[in-house]
Amino acid sequence: MSTTRPAPRTARTAQPTSDRDQPFAARRERLARLLTRAEAGPVAAVFASGHEARRNGDVDYEFRQPSTFYYLTGFEEPDAVALLRPGHAQPYVLFVRPHDPQMAIWVGERAGVEGAVRDFGATVAYPIEELEQRLPELLGGMRTVYFSFGADDRVEKLVTTAVAQRRGGGQRGGVAIERVADPFPYVSQMRVIKTAEEIAALRKAISITGDGIDAAMRATRPGMHEYELQAVLEAEYRRRGAPRNGFPSIVAAGANSCTLHYTANNSLVGKDDLVLLDTGAEVDYYGADVSRTYPTNGRFTAAQRDVYAIVLEAQRQAIALVRPGVRFMDVHQRALKVLVDGLRHLGVLQGTTAKLTKDGAYQPYFMHGTSHWLGLDVHDVGAYREDGESVVLRPGMVLTVEPGLYIAPDAKAPRQLRGIGVRIEDDILVTRTGHDNLSGHIPSAIDELEAIVRG
């Protein structure tokens, strides 16, 4: 969109760190230490924010900052670039959209270069329009530049150009950029271990999610559309202070529960259906991820109850394993064993659990992993394997434990089981001595669910 007056072109330089910026400043310092330790010469790291994306006509999708950019900057506006230069006199440079009086009238104030320094801890800030011109000079003397290829086309091109120019300069006695390396493994290693304030945000998101699930369960009536239930769920999130979800809510009634990432949410809820909710409110960018499955009419059928009890037991045993030193994969293996035993018991599979597991015979009914990391992203960053081995759980990690069984309407299974999909998901913090089920207060026992739906 066009503007009528030129934005201020002046850079702004640093004040002391604002309270707001404190946790972000601590992360930038920690990352700077990790990156400096990994390299012999001077290093810089470049991170790009997200951009607005067109939805239709002149309407954009709701903007949410990509998680790593937010994690390091706390800056929520699009079209920004952060440059870290550990050990430099100006170690933190932000490029941002400048203050624009015309845009302020239409869409609100921007932080601008003044706000970037005053509130977001930049030692110096420039208008984003000056990125092309200034980046080569700001990378002067750096031997290693950390940048994630594929993250942002414009910044990627600038980094590539800077590398090429400096290579030419190197022949005339200048310092070449010898390495462009991905900062992702370092950021990921930081993000997978949550601090106390991150856990507090997750707890709040999970608590709000529990209230939303409770409200949706109580509001469930046969003949509703799934999206009406979604509205009840998410109205409670908003009412309780979560401005958005961590991901689109899954509200799946009847056989829709067999579709893992069902988000159409436009079917009618039948009177004998199970409803599967897989959902999470987001608070301060941290999102919950909780699944509950319950009967529409407040009473599980015998077949629904049989399937549900197996998934619940798989989840109970898997969660019980979680503590420091246990391998991530062991949590999955435990859930899987209970599920395969259960499928045999139900008459869906025949054979020994060991052979059925080895052959993957369970996969038509349980086709996803039991766990993923949780944090700023619902499927949060963090390695699952290192050097070919499963990662070992450490205090501060947060993982979901979410076994499920999905018996599709056309499955080769006893007729009464077909169309039943059950997933039960909780968010588990690894503590020093074991674990804390952050969503354990949200009911999942059969009699509790029946009582809530019946009101």
Toward Mg ion, which CB reaches closer, 315 or 400? 400
Give every CB contact of residue 189 below 8 A, 6+ residues apart in sequence.
Answer: 34, 382, 383
Site track for Mg ion across 243-282, x = CB under 5 A: ----------------------------------------
**Is 19 an annotated catalytic residue?**
no
Smallest distance from Mg ion to CB 345, Å: 26
Cα 39 from chain centroid (whole Å): 30
In whole angstroms, how far apart are CA 153 and each of 48, 125, 182? 10, 22, 15
Query: By CB under 5 A, which span of 16-24, 34-42, 286-294, 411-419 interacts with Mg ion?
Result: 286-294
Query: By CB under 5 A, which span of 10-18, 87-95, 181-189, 283-291 interacts with Mg ion?
Result: 283-291
Could you give the CA distance from residue 340 to residue 310 in angstroms, rounded to a whole number? 9
Toward Mg ion, which CB reaches closer, 198 or 228? 198
Q: How many helices (H) and strands (E) does the chain have?
A: 13, 22
Smallest distance from Mg ion to CB 425, Å: 5
Smallest distance from Mg ion to CB 436, Å: 18
Cα 395 from chain centroid (whole Å): 19
Cα 209 from chain centroid (whole Å): 15
For the record, the structure tokens of 88 come out as 């430099």
450 close to 298: Cβ distance less than 8 angstroms: yes
**Is 261 an annotated catalytic residue?**
yes
Q: Which of 159, 6, 21 is nearest to 81 (CA)?
A: 159
Q: Counting contacts by CB under 5 A, is residue 67 touching Mg ion?
A: no
Smallest distance from Mg ion to CB 261, Å: 10
Could you give the CA distance from residue 408 to residue 202 in angstroms, rounded to a whole number? 33
Window 392-431: residues binding Mg ion (CB under 5 A): 400
**Is 435 an annotated catalytic residue?**
no
**Is 289 an annotated catalytic residue?**
yes
Residue of 402, 426, 427, 435 with catalytic role: 402
Could you give the CA distance from residue 68 to residue 46 in angstroms, rounded to a whole number? 12
Q: Write a three-state SS string for 10-50.
A: CCEECCCCCCCCHHHHHHHHHHHHHHHHHCCCCEEEEEECC
Q: Counting contacts by CB under 5 A, is residue 289 touching Mg ion?
A: yes
Residue of 20, 345, 379, 394 with catalytic role: 379
**Is 278 an annotated catalytic residue?**
yes
**Is 225 an annotated catalytic residue?**
no
Smallest distance from Mg ion to CB 131, Å: 37
Toward Mg ion, which CB reaches closer, 49 or 400? 400
- Residue of this chain nearest to Mg ion (CB atom): 289
Q: Counting contacts by CB under 5 A, is residue 315 touching Mg ion?
A: no
**Is 402 an annotated catalytic residue?**
yes
Give every CB contact of residue 299 below 8 A, 6+ residues apart in sequence.
Answer: 450, 454
Q: Which residues bind Mg ion (CB under 5 A)?
A: 289, 400
Which residues are catalytically annotated?
A: 58, 261, 278, 289, 368, 372, 379, 402, 406, 423, 425
